[in-house]
Amino acid sequence: MMNILEAAKTVFDIEAKAILQLKNQLNGSFERVIHAILNCKGKLVVTGMGKSGHIGRKIAATLASTGTPSFFMHPAEAFHGDLGMVSKGDLILGISYSGETEELIKLLPLLKARQNEFIALCGKKTATLSVHADYFLDVSVQEEACPLALAPTASTTVALAMGDALAVVLMKMRDFKAEDFARFHPGGSLGRKLLTKVKDMMRRENLPLIGVEASIEQLILTISASRYGLAVVELPENKYGLVTDGDLRRALTVFRLDGIKNQRIEHIMTKNPKSISPESSISEAEELFYKHQITHLLVQDNGILLGVLQLYDLHKL
């Protein structure tokens, strides 16, 4: 009887081995492809049939979201109008493990006539597609994980890994940063945190301000009357202190109920509380919250208090 777990582990072993083999197959051809893409004046058009097409769609999507303008074109549809999507200056990446996919081979002369250079991502260096391409990327594998050696398994994994290698190296060559990634993913969590400014989320209405000379009773009333769970203490020279409801509870454990009434606000407040600029990103604010293990930030511009940002507010993103 077949051991199910061992059969699954064999698949992982074969595919892992194939990727390690791919690492050793890298050569100057990969570098030439990278420079060709960097120098491309148009887009990188990815194409492939069947399983290679599915891999191609993912590669194109990854490239497009990481700074390399790219889209997928189905090779069969190219003969029925989609070739019009390809412009002069575009670079073509064709994926075919055998290198003999009829639809791709038929495209070659049409693309060359339009002066579009072709990158062949193939498993055979001597294949028709590889020989007639401008660039060749070797994605050959020693064996497929499929026991019948029919279903593309290790070969599609390796093709996908090669696509990831292209995308990541291009990101590094272009100095592509998290902020750039966010601009391509404005609807994602990272995009929202990087593109949303502190001023867009800070609370500015009815700020709970109190003078440093006020009584503890007035302090408690100020905190209770607001929905902030804190009071901002106004100090001389445009400086501020901060008292949260947590500070009050901790003070109660130290001074007890009778003793706290006689304390001054400055004895229980946080002096020099952390602040942030209204133009900072929510991502920067989040970093401050977790780095200093705090839940409130004063929003200030040149020493002027504009509002308060709370860690709870970030959960709305």
- Tens of each residue's pLDDT in the chain, 317 residues: 679 999 999 999 999 999 999 999 999 999 999 999 999 999 999 999 999 999 999 999 999 988 899 999 999 999 888 999 999 899 999 999 999 999 999 999 999 899 999 999 999 999 999 999 999 999 999 999 998 888 899 999 999 999 999 999 999 999 887 666 666 555 555 556 666 888 988 888 888 899 988 888 888 888 888 778 888 999 988 789 998 888 888 887 877 766 677 788 888 888 889 999 999 888 888 888 888 888 889 999 988 899 999 887 776 66
Q: How many residues does the chain have?
A: 317
**139: CB partners within 8 A, 6+ apart:** 22, 25, 97, 121, 122, 123, 155, 158, 159, 162
Q: For the chain, how many structural domains are there in total?
A: 2
pLDDT of residue 68: 92
Residues 213 and 283 in one domain: yes
Assess if residue 228 is contained within a domain: yes
Own/partner pairs for 228-233, CB < 8 Å, 24+ apart?
Answer: 228/203, 228/308, 228/310, 229/310, 230/296, 230/308, 232/207, 232/208, 232/298, 232/305, 232/308, 233/265, 233/266, 233/269
Residues 207 and 251 in one domain: yes
Residues 170 and 227 in one domain: no
Residues 26 and 153 in one domain: yes
Assess if residue 188 is contained within a domain: no
Residues 204 and 169 in one domain: no
Assess if residue 183 is contained within a domain: no
Boundary residue ending a domain (176, 207, 232)? 176
The CATH number of whichever domain residue 167 belongs to comes to 3.40.50.10490
Assess if residue 168 is contained within a domain: yes
The CATH number of whichever domain residue 275 belongs to comes to 3.10.580.10
Assess if residue 189 is contained within a domain: no
Residues 215 and 171 in one domain: no
pLDDT of residue 223: 86
Residues 15 and 155 in one domain: yes
- List the domain range (segments joined by +) for residue 76: 4-176
pLDDT of residue 272: 87
pLDDT of residue 192: 63
| pTM recorded for the entire structure | 0.68
pLDDT of residue 262: 76
pLDDT of residue 67: 87
Assess if residue 186 is contained within a domain: no
